Amino acid sequence: MIKIGICDDDSLFAENLYEIINRIMFAVDDWALCIFHSKDEIVWAIERGKFDCQLLFMDIMMQNGMGMQIVQFLHTKDIQVDIIFVTASREHVFECYHYGAFAYLLKPVSESQVMQELKRYFEDLRYLPKYLPISFNGVTYQIPIFSIYYIESNRRKLKIYTQQGTYVCYQKLNDIAEKLRPYDFVRCHQSYLVAVKMVSEYTATHLYVNGMDIPVSERYRQQVKELFSSVDANGENISRRKNIRQLYKNYGAIVCVQGDYLGAIIRIKPEQEIVIGRDGENADFVVNLPFVSRCHCTLTYHAHTMEYEVVDHSSNGTFVNGGKRLLPEESYLLKTGSKLSFGSTDTIFKLG
């Protein structure tokens, strides 16, 4: 289950954004969405342990800047939520990056922009395909994994019980269990594989799923006990929950704080050399501006010193802190917070 939140005091915008996300997410996964209209609503949910969003679309300027107070509150409480800022403010890009922003979009936003950021978000978290392919009597079925209650084995014949109905196929339960291993299924018996989030109750000897009483054998009892001590109220494995802030903990970044690419946040893995330029086929970060060369410069983040190694390859120059032009093909080490411009100083990027 992916839980997405929207926090915006503009009810019409929040509803429009909901419709956009709904159209995009319809074919992606099992998901839910909630809307918050004020700081008080989010604080209430957090203080009562009811805030469980994995991704939050947030307006930084709601209620005269109250949005930043919400972000600081989330940070203070160490709430593990990823944030895509959707705002009219052009002033808080770098500040929001330091609070773990995944992206920063300026209003008005289009459906294609939201789709692009959601796609990038899922790709960065390496979400896997959500369908289990099976074949029976010459017909192939694509079963949504999030809809599976449990799988029952009788020798090599499997019955897959889902929200849509029951499917039958001839496979080994061990093989299916391996395919479903990343999706929080538990083997509780030689003949049963159960979706953890579908379990309504459990004891040392039984799991209760969709009205069915499924046995837990002695062989799997300890494994089941350990698993259910590490899942949350939604049946999700806490220890394996993915979070962008954790993923990006040791990454560097280049953030556009002025100009045509304002709000762009590009993360850089430690010791990863990225190419910045106008050539979409060869550049890792495409900056399509008039004075930017096809391969303008390379940038490498050294996490152990928190420095960025920059080498200019352009004809119009790479500029640091609004003035100094780097010598071509020379290596420079720049500190976090340094500003870079490519070809001209109209657009400014800041090193995170």
Question: Sorting pLDDT into bands at 50, 70 and 90, what band is 238?
Answer: very low
Half-sphere exposure of 100 (CA within 13 A, CB side): 23
Chain segment 97-127, per-residue pLDDT in tens: 888 889 999 999 999 999 889 888 877 775 5
Angle in degrees, CA 68, 120, 335, rounded to 5: 60
Most confident of 80-89, 151-160, 198-207, 325-334: 325-334
267 Cβ contact partners less than 8 Å away, ≥ 6 residues apart: 124, 248, 251, 252, 253
Across 81-90, 128-137, 170-179, 334-343, least confident range: 128-137
Looking at residue 148, its pLDDT comes to 92
Cis ω before 129 (30° cut-off from 0): no
d(CA 284, CA 264): 13
Amino acid type, 4: I
Taking the chain, what is the end-to-end CA distance rounded to the nearest angstrom? 32
Instruction: Please give the model's pTM, rounded to 2 decimal places.
Output: 0.61
Highest-confidence range of 3-12, 88-97, 135-144, 324-333, by mean pLDDT?
324-333
- Mean pLDDT computed over 91-100: 85
Of 130 and 95, the one with more pLDDT: 95
Pick the closest to residue 126 from 20, 243, 33 (CA basis): 243
- Is the per-residue pLDDT at 27 higher than 70? no
Q: What is the pLDDT of residue 280?
A: 85
Cβ partners under 8 Å of residue 136, min gap 6 = 167, 168, 169, 170
The larger pLDDT score, comparing residue 254 to residue 144, is at 254
Binned at pLDDT 50, 70 and 90, residue 81 comes out as: confident
CB 293 within 8 A of CB 317: no
DSSP calls for 260-314: TTTT-EEEE-BT-EEEEES-TTT-SEE---TT--TT-EEEEEETTTTEEEEEE--
Higher pLDDT, 90 or 159: 159
The pLDDT value given to residue 147? 84
Q: Which residue has the higher pLDDT, 338 or 91?
A: 338
pLDDT tens digits, 172-186 = 999 999 888 877 899
Q: How confident is the model at residue 240 (pLDDT cuts 50, 70, 90)?
A: very low
pLDDT band at 220 (very low <50, low <70, confident <90, very high): very high
Residue 233 has pLDDT above 90, yes or no: no
Domains of the chain with bracketed CATH: 2-124 (3.40.50.2300), 131-240 (2.40.50.1020), 251-351 (2.60.200.20)
Angle (CA) 31-196-81 rounded to 5° is 45
DSSP string, 214-244: EE--GGGHHHHHHHHTSB-TTS-BGGG---H
Mean pLDDT is lowest, of 40-49, 225-234, 270-279, for 225-234
